[in-house]
Chain A
């Protein structure tokens, strides 16, 4: 019998174009996603050397980072506009399919790939964006690259990559009611730190992962990079196959049956070994809230903000003190007492239909606290349309949320959706770095339910304690 292999080994072996001693492997790239911010210099590089795009048909572009989510066509910032126009020109020149700002397929690159069925198990997928790990939810090997690598993939459809080490993130038991995939991934990063995944590809395994929906799996894989891992994935199963079936770019008919069989065969073999393993019990995970300036600075909603004195080194102590100062928080303060000014429901972590449905359930029939400004930004135009069909926009608007057009928005505040200095935001995004949502802005990462609950109460609250009205 063949040696049992992990899914990462299987995908890798299927994509090696060329191998040499003491060199990384030359790896074939099946799908290259492109957006406006990290691509202009790559296209410019091609032009300077008179090079073309090898496989425009394996390349797909959209506009997401800069686009306005309100007054769609009034782009006040000329530089943003230039960047978007440049992407359009580049796609025209090199024949690359583009979902531009007016296109019905437009959306955050990591939301639309799966939506269109471009993301499939076993594929190698790259994008000049670190959250490309999201696509790993389908059992694809997907990772973020820099602009030089974007240029390299455009020109050659390959990348030089060293065979990665693998790390098994084993999630035992089941998540409790009101506890989500977002809480789970935050709890994993809080437990093992923001660099435990550096140098590895993470594979999430265990019962709790198997029972997650595809959208929840995307939330998990999305944040692999916040643990330092360029890629994180989940072996494909029936849930994966069901999700892909019927999507526009998915194989059809008997081709689909054949593909589904191949996909299932990709799952990690029993007895395959990993280079490392970490474990967590899903049953013990509570709703989480980050208090600091990296995603590992995270506590359960029932806990209090840590003190620098709890740190085990001088550097760690400094780090906590600096984070507390930036965040305007006191050690020992219960996180639930922290008042917020803004709520952002959106980003490639939590802006899919099910995220919005769950948040809407919390706010239905309630009102946003008068001290809070709250916005919902669907991950794609298609999510927006589906949500409106269900009337979610009405629920949010009646509660006092703003209902916006699709884009990255306040996740990184490159457009006009900015948190002002010193103000505090409960955000369903993935990074609470200093200045991420605006210079001096203070970010707390939470699940969509927790963000919705905070919007109503004006401070953090355990969403499990909110009594939900019975739907009429």
Chain B
């Protein structure tokens, strides 16, 4: 996983709550067996009509957001299915940071395993970002070391993220390799389990 410390990018606002992972990537695209190439299916049913033509009214099809790398949405982003295809699709499409007023637990976790920074801001703060990026092309910078979000204007906010996940993202660690440094403890735990429960 690529380390990420700071990122500056264009904001794409998606002013909806409870965006579930079935919307982020519909199930008909979960059949691939690799991690790559899911970006083309991102928000598929919102982006395309039944003929596969891009829907004009869906804002992600607006050329002004073509280079957006920061998605800002309403509360409970990523609820529903545990499919990691959702962060894979977002990342493959070009999003490196997701900002929302709240996240579903599994989705949040899945982001941090893939080098996407999930940032929880207050409802007021996300609304400001949404308003500004809807009216104009709007760039912000996030700093994972300082835990801050700064607009190209007077927007400043700070955020919290569990320390463990922050370190993972900052260093781009292979989590399994980290865990395997504790292998002797796992061995010991299993030995005790065998003794006490015969498992």
Name A residues whose Cβ lies closer than 8 Å to a Cβ of B: 17-18, 22-24, 26, 28, 30, 37-38, 40-41, 44, 49, 51, 54, 66, 77, 79-80, 82-83, 86, 128-130, 144-149, 151-152, 155-158, 160, 162, 194-195, 198-199, 225, 228, 230, 255, 294, 315-316, 318-319, 322, 412-414, 421, 431, 433-436, 439-440
A436 CB contacts on chain B under 8 angstroms: 22, 27
- Name 18 A/B residue pairs within 8 A (Cβ), A-sorted: A17-B186, A17-B189, A18-B185, A26-B182, A28-B193, A40-B33, A49-B176, A66-B31, A146-B83, A146-B110, A155-B180, A195-B104, A228-B104, A319-B17, A412-B27, A414-B30, A421-B50, A440-B45
Q: Nearest 3 A-B pairs (CB), nearest first?
A: A40-B33, A148-B113, A146-B110
Q: How far is the CA of A25 from the CA of B124 in the complex (A)?
A: 33
Q: Choose among B27, B104, B163, B182 the residue that contacts A17 (Cβ–Cβ < 8 A).
A: B182
Give the chain B neighbours of A315 by CB distance below 8 A: 15, 17, 74
Does B150 count as interface, using CB distance less than 8 angstroms? no
Question: In the complex, which residues of chain A have a beta carbon less than 8 angstroms from the beta carbon of B164?
Answer: 22-24, 160, 162
B82 touches A51 (CB 8 A): no
B179 in the interface (beta carbon within 8 A):
yes
Is there an interface contact between B179 and A160, defined as CB atoms closer than 8 Å?
Answer: yes
Measured between C-beta atoms, what is the minimum distance from A365 to chain B in Å?
A: 37
Q: How far is the CA of A195 from the CA of B35 in the complex (A)?
A: 29
4 new A-B contacts, CB < 8 A, other than A130-B81, A198-B105, are A24-B164, A79-B32, A152-B175, A228-B76
| Cβ contact within 8 Å between A83 and B106 | no
Contact assessment for B45 and A151 in the assembled complex, using a CB-CB cutoff below 8 Å: no
In the complex, the answer to whether B33 meets A26 with C-beta atoms within 8 Å is no
Which chain A residue shows the least CB distance to B179?
A: A156
Contact of A155 with B84 in the complex, beta carbons under 8 Å: no
Q: Are A439 and B32 in touch, CB under 8 angstroms?
A: no
Q: Is the CB of B22 within 8 A of A435?
A: yes
A144 to B107, CA, bound (A): 11
Residues from chain B with Cβ under 8 Å of A156 in the complex: 176, 179-180, 183, 186
Which of B27, B162, B163 has its CB near the most chain A CB atoms (within 10 A)? B27
With contact pairs A129-B82, A146-B82 given, residues A51 and B76 touching in the complex (Cβ less than 8 Å): no
Question: Which B residue's beta carbon lies closest to that of A433?
Answer: B22
Residues of chain B at the chain A interface (Cβ within 8 Å): 15-18, 20, 22-23, 26-28, 30-35, 45, 50, 74-76, 79-84, 87, 102, 104-106, 109-110, 113-114, 162-164, 174-176, 179-180, 182-183, 185-186, 189-190, 193, 198-199
A80 touches B176 (CB 8 A): no
A146/B189 contact (C-beta < 8 A), A194-B76, A413-B27 known: no
Q: B27: which A residues are within 8 A, CB to CB?
A: 412-414, 436
One of A41, A146, A413 near B109 (C-beta < 8 A): A146
The tally of CB-CB contacts under 8 A between chains A and B is 166
Partner of A44, one of B34, B80, B104: B34
Residue of B nearest to A39 (CB): B33
Q: Output the least CB separation between B185 and chain A (Å).
A: 5
Contact of A149 with B50 at beta-carbon distance under 8 Å, contacts A37-B30, A156-B180, A160-B175 already known: no
Closest beta carbon of chain A to B60's beta carbon, Å = 16
Residues of A within 8 A of B113 (CB): 146, 148-149
Is A41's CB under 8 angstroms from B179's CB? Answer: no
Query: What residue in chain B is nearest A22 (Cβ atoms)?
Result: B163
Q: Is the CB of B83 within 8 A of A38?
A: yes
Contacting residue for B18 out of A152, A194, A199, CB 8 A: A194
Which residue in B15, B23, B102, B114 is a CB contact (below 8 Å) of A195?
B102
Given contacts A414-B30, A433-B23, contact A144 B16 (CB under 8 A): no
Cβ distance A422 to chain B, nearest Cβ, rounded Å: 10
Given contacts A82-B31, A228-B105, contact A319 B18 (CB under 8 A): yes
Residues in A with CB closer than 8 Å to B183 are 156
B179 near A152 (CB under 8 angstroms)? yes
A125 to chain B, nearest CB (A): 14
* B46 and chain A: residue at smallest CB distance: A434
Task: Name the distance in Å between A323's Cβ and chain B's nearest Cβ.
Answer: 10
Residues of A within 8 Å of B190, CB to CB, are 28, 157
Q: Which of A41, A51, A129 has the most CB of B within 10 A?
A: A41
Residue with the greatest number of chain B CB neighbours at <10 A, chosen from A40, A130, A318: A130
**CB-nearest residue of chain B to A439:** B45
Return B29 CB to nearest CB of chain A, in Å. 9
- CA gap between A204 and B121 in the complex, in Å: 31
- Could you say which residues of chain A place their CB within 8 Å of the CB of B102? 195, 198
Question: In this complex, what residue of B is CB-closest to A145?
Answer: B82
Return chain B residues, CB-CB under 8 Å to A225. 80
Give A431 to B20 CA distance when docked, in angstroms.
Answer: 10
Q: What are the residues of chain A within 8 A of B35 when measuring CB–CB?
A: 41, 44
Once A83-B33, A130-B106 are accepted as A-B contacts, the answer to whether A433 and B20 lie under 8 Å apart by CB is yes
Given A146-B113, A435-B22, check contact A86 B33 (CB 8 Å): yes
B76 in contact with A79 (CB, 8 Å): no
List, in ascending order, chain B residues with CB within 8 A of A316's CB: 17
B174: chain A residues within 8 A (beta carbon):
49
Q: Are B84 and A435 in contact (CB under 8 A)?
A: no
- For the complex, what is the distance from the CA of A195 to the CA of B19, rounded to whole Å? 12
Q: Which residues of A contact B179 (CB under 8 A)?
A: 26, 152, 155-156, 158, 160
- Shortest Cβ gap from A224 to chain B (Å): 11
